[in-house]
């Protein structure tokens, strides 16, 4: 979609994964909100499509490792971490952007011109995530992946800060039975129709 619209693409979730990984590497307890917030505030992120850098060091390889699966929803729910990363996300979007994330239309850019909320069944989410892993040549444990996806969706939907939910003015697209190209075409058509 970003390619068709001539805009950069940012997956904001990579930023939370990067902070979680850095916390793990540096021995920062994910439940220590102050320490993790300081880490997020002191780390400059850069996203380019599916690649992520923290302070100039690329962290893309292994960013989806299940080693950090338990810590990710804990760290993602820390208000100071969210504020630090939202500030950076807003900076990244000054000249237009396509941004994906769980609170982009509700918190990060509540006044965005275009908002889309994509939904899929748990089975479909697991199938897609497994395909991403396989494409990168990584081993897939679908049962562990299913538990991770299910837990993360539940925790993110129930958290008091920036819960996973569609913005009231978002277009909701059920992606279970349509392929990627069709999803992109629907979104691009809507964006161009309003332009």
103-121 residue pLDDT tens: 999 999 999 999 999 999 9
- Tell me, yes or no, whether 119 lies in a domain: yes
Q: Say which CATH number the domain at 165 has.
A: 3.40.50.300
Task: Return the higher-pLDDT residue of 23 and 138.
Answer: 23
The answer for residues whose C-beta is within 8 angstroms of residue 180's C-beta and 6 or more apart is: none
Q: Tokens 């396989």 map to which residue?
A: 134
191 domain residue, yes or no? no
Cβ–Cβ under 8 Å, residues 174 and 120 = yes
Residue 188 lies in a domain: no
* Stretch 63-68: mean pLDDT: 82
The pLDDT tens digits for 66-81 are: 788 889 989 999 999 9
Query: Around Cβ 171, how many Cβ atoms within 10 Å?
Result: 15
Of 45-59, 142-156, 163-177, where does mean pLDDT reach its minimum? 142-156
Q: Does a structural domain hold residue 166?
A: yes
Q: What residues make up the domain containing 87?
A: 2-181
- Other Cβ atoms within 10 Å of 179 Cβ, number: 9
Q: What confidence tier does 164 reach under pLDDT thresholds 50, 70, 90?
A: confident
To the question of pTM greater than 0.85 for the whole model, the response is no
Overall domain count for the chain:
1
Q: Is 190 part of any domain? A: no
Q: Tell me, what's the pLDDT at 102?
A: 86
Confirm whether 194 is domain-assigned. no
Supply the mean pLDDT for the chain. 91
45-53: long-range contacts, CB 8 A cutoff, minimum separation 24: 45/15, 45/18, 45/85, 45/88, 47/10, 47/11, 47/12, 47/14, 47/15, 47/92, 48/8, 49/9, 49/11, 50/11, 50/14, 52/14, 52/15, 52/17, 52/18
Q: 126 lies in a domain?
A: yes
pLDDT at 29: 96
SS3 32: coil
pLDDT at 181 over 90: yes
Q: What percent of the chain has pLDDT over 90?
A: 68
186 close to 173: Cβ distance less than 8 angstroms: yes
Q: Does the residue 102 lie in any domain?
A: yes
């Amino acid at each position: 979609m970003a390619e068709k619209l001539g805009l950069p693409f940012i997956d904001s979730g990579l930023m939370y994964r990067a902070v979680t990984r850095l916390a793990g590497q540096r021995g920062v307890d994910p439940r220590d909100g102050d320490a993790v917030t300081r880490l997020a505030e002191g780390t400059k992120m850069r996203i380019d499509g599916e690649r992520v850098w923290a302070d100039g060091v690329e962290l893309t390889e292994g960013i989806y490792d299940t080693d950090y699966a338990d810590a990710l929803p804990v760290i993602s729910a820390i208000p100071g971490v969210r504020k630090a990363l939202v500030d950076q996300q807003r900076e990244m979007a000054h000249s237009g952007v396509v941004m994906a994330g769980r609170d982009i239309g509700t918190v990060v850019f509540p006044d965005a011109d275009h908002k889309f909320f994509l939904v899929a069944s748990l089975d479909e989410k697991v199938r897609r995530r497994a395909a991403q892993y396989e494409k990168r040549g990584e081993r897939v444990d679908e049962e562990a992946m299913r538990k991770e996806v299910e837990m993360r969706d539940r925790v993110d939907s129930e958290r008091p800060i920036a819960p996973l939910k569609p913005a009231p003015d978002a277009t909701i697209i059920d992606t279970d039975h349509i392929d990627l190209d069709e999803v992109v075409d629907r979104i691009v058509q809507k964006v161009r129709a309003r332009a």
